[in-house]
Every structure is written in structure tokens, then in C-alpha cells.
């Protein structure tokens, strides 16, 4: 049985610790859901790209690619690489907010002015089951991949390593992963991006590029 194509995004139900802030914005196949969670302070956007035939074929399920953006990027920005991702019609693509400098990790220091910063909990324990519950995904390891750009490339490797039961494929594009350096050097690089010491890493001189820790 085939259904008529719809003009707006599908309805999404709250759950897994995520509460939606208003309705989804965008088209039926390229839209943004804004959610709140106790795991990470503030509102966070999740961009979802659906195949063109998603609404027309209600019995079909799709594998999911979780694409993790780079530092200072935002899933709400339509000028990133989303057209290339949207061209893929055989899968669902989910681009969750990773923060300007979230580094796809649960921060050791939760006492900064940024508030709660449990990005890994947000993505792994909340976003993935939220997507599986609301969309027709192939909700298995075989049907799930993770990839990322720059900071997101680090995040993709980090998540694939820590959660091999969730992802069958991983890719890092210009990833911020350096295995030949010691942990102290890498820690310094991360701290530099958090404090905006390394402004070129930010890709912009805008003051909005850095988190304000007060």
C-alpha cells in the first residue's frame, strides 16, 4: 500500500528524555526538530534528511547515517554540506547538535557557565532511540552508521569505538583525530578551541564562535 506524499515534516513524539520545543521546521524531507534535555543545557537542533519516497512508501524501512558536524557549526545552518547528504535517497541522515565546542563527550567539568554538557549521553542514549521510535529506521547495528567532519570526525571515531554494538560503519572526514601525539597535547588542543585561543580552528573571527565561560 502506498500513501500520498505529504508537504510537511512527520510528527515526532517526545521521549527518552527529549522534549520538543515547538514543531518541526522545514520540508517533508529536510527539517529541523528542536529539543530540550537535562543532559545538555539549552535548546538543541536535530536536522533530519529523509529519502524522497519516505512518505509514499509506509512499509519501507531505511538505514540511518548519524553525521556529526564540526566545531562552531550548527545543524540549523543550511549552507553546510547538507545538499550532498540530501542527495542520498537510500537512507535517513540525522545531524544532531554537537555544540560549538561540545567534542562529542561528557565533560569532566560540569560546573562551568555552560551548564550541563553530557553530549555523549544526549546522542547515544536519547537521540538514537528518539529517531528509532519516531521514524521507520532499520534499528539495528547493521542499519546504523556514524560519520563526521573535523570535530565531528573525532566524535564519529569516539562513538564507534565506545559503542561498537550500535554502529556497523564509521567515517571521519578531515577528522580532528591525531593518534601520533600524546594525551597532553591533544588535551591542550581541545582546551584551546574551547577558549578560542586558536581562532583559526574556529573558521571565523566572530565572537559567537566561542563559548563564554564567564
CA 210/CA 214 separation, integer angstroms: 12
Q: What is the full per-residue pLDDT of the chain (214 aa) written as tens digits? A: 444 456 789 999 999 999 999 889 999 999 999 999 999 999 999 999 999 999 999 999 999 999 999 888 888 887 776 788 888 889 999 999 999 889 999 988 888 888 999 999 999 999 999 999 999 999 999 999 999 998 999 999 999 999 999 999 999 887 666 655 555 545 555 555 555 444 443 333 334 443 332 2
DSSP string of 14-82, one letter each residue: -BTTBEE-S--EE-SSEEEEEEEETTEEEEEEEEEE--TTTTT-TT--B-EEEEE--TT--TT-TTSSH
CA 65/CA 67 separation, integer angstroms: 6
**Maximum distance among all Cα pairs of the chain, rounded to whole angstroms:** 58
How far are the Cα atoms of 73, 95, 197 from residue 121, in angstroms, in the given order? 20, 16, 27
pTM exceeds 0.75 for this model: yes
pLDDT at 34: 97
Q: Which CATH class is domain 19-179?
A: alpha beta
Q: Which residues pair with 173 in a beta bridge?
A: 149
Amino acid at each position: 500500500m502506498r500513501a500520498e506524499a505529504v508537504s510537511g515534516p512527520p510528527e515526532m513524539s517526545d521521549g527518552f528524555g527529549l522534549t520538543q520545543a515547538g514543531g518541526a521546521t522545514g520540508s517533508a524531507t529536510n527539517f529541523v526538530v528542536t529539543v530540550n534535555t537535562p543532559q545538555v543545557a539549552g535548546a538543541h537542533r536535530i536536522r533530519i534528511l529523509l529519502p524522497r519516497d519516505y512518505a509514499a512508501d509506509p512499509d519501507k524501512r531505511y538505514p540511518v547515517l548519524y553525521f556529526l558536524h564540526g566545531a562552531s557549526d550548527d545543524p540549523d545552518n543550511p549552507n553546510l554540506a547538507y545538499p550532498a547528504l540530501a542527495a542520498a535517497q537510500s537512507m535517513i541522515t540525522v545531524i544532531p547538535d554537537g555544540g560549538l565546542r561540545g567534542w562529542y563527550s561528557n565533560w569532566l567539568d560540569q560546573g562551568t557557565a555552560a551548564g550541563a554538557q553530557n553530549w555523549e549521553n544526549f546522542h547515544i542514549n536519547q537521540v538514537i532511540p528518539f529517531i528509532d521510535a519516531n521514524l521507520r529506521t532499520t534499528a539495528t547495528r547493521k542499519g546504523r552508521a556514524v560519520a563526521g567532519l573535523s570535530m565531528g570526525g573525532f566524535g564519529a571515531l569516539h562513538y564507534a569505538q565506545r559503542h561498537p554494538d550500535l554502529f556497523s560503519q564509521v567515517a571521519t572526514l578531515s577528522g580532528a583525530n591525531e593518534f601520533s601525539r600524546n594525551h597532553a597535547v591533544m588535551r591542550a588542543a581541545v582546551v584551546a578551541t574551547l577558549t578560542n585561543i586558536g581562532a583559526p580552528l574556529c573558521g571565523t573571527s566572530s565572537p559567537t564562535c566561542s563559548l563564554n565561560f564567564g
